[in-house]
Amino acid sequence: MKLTVLGSGSCVVQQNTRASSGYILEAGNTTIMIDTGTGSTKNISESGYSTADFDAVVNTHRHPDHVSDLLPVVQDKVVRSFSSEEPGITLYGPEGHEEYLRDRMRHEMVESPDSVEENFGFNFEVKEISSREKISQNLVLESIEALHGPESFRCLSLKFISEGKEIVFTGDTDYNPELEGFAEGADILVADCSRPGSQEVEGHMNADECGRLAEKAGVGKLVLSHLYPETEGENLKSQAGSFFDGEVVVAEDLMVIEY
């Protein structure tokens, strides 16, 4: 499996050295994009991919720093279909994702999820994530609820499983004890590290909490991401490493991790 970081930043617009949340996960012959935060799509080509490579896009939730660039992915595929045969794509998201996409596509593209295949010739599906989804023959997605925002606002933590390898994305979340079991033994944990260890913020974790979660789950490698400006200049690796004995990596845009 291969993980490429498209965006390691937050919702803060002035944080122009980091795009908002976005990742590419390659597992065998399956390639997906995970979250489509503001500015993440500009790094797709920089990382050597195109939207035609994506079998699916999976969104953890619908805050702008995780979903803003979703329709640009769709629009890019539409434009590509004018000059060549475009492969299909499936868009996954939490409850309400289909209604969200239907409304947004109507306002921004004068299209709907139902009209894409007829008008542009490629298969287009929208699926709301259940606790377990088979994305392809060699990639399975599992999810649990994250602790982020009001109860009515669905946000998910995600686990991807392929050929005995596992990678977990916490998504935006407060420290969630349920994640300790969900991420148990994962090869990689990509964690919401929105603050240094000395600070706390509702709906997110800090570096200390990320380290504690990684240690309790017994993961192989901890990747600190979703970094707010407050984390810059801080020794996040050391802070998380005070609690976690394994390898700690501070994410950077265009970083590639193979495992």
Domains of the chain: 2-258 (3.60.15.10)
Give the largest Cα separation in the chain, rounded: 55
DSSP-derived 3-state class of residue 78: helix
Question: Which one, of 208, 143, 205, 199, lies nearest residue 172 by Cα?
Answer: 205
Block mean pLDDT (10 aa), the chain, length 259: 97 86 98 98 98 98 97 98 97 97 96 95 97 96 95 93 98 98 98 96 97 98 97 97 98 97
Query: Who contacts 57 (Cβ-Cβ below 8 Å, separation ≥6)?
Result: 32, 33, 34, 36, 70, 73, 89, 90, 91, 92
Report how far apart, in Å, the C-alpha atoms of 228 and of each of 50, 101, 257 are: 27, 28, 22
Q: Which residues pair with 124 in a beta bridge?
A: 89
What is this structure's pTM? 0.96
Q: At what angle do helices 97-109 and 70-81 cross, to 10 degrees?
A: 60
Neighbours of 229 (CB within 10 A): 13
Confirm if 202 and 174 have CB atoms less than 8 A apart.
Answer: yes
Q: What pLDDT, in 10s, does the model give residues 168-178? A: 999 999 999 99
In this prediction, residue 149 carries a pLDDT of 85
In this prediction, residue 14 carries a pLDDT of 74
Query: Who contacts 110 (Cβ-Cβ below 8 Å, separation ≥6)?
Result: none
In this prediction, residue 220 carries a pLDDT of 98
Q: What pLDDT, in 10s, does the model give residues 213-228? A: 999 999 999 999 999 9
CA 132/CA 242 separation, integer angstroms: 34
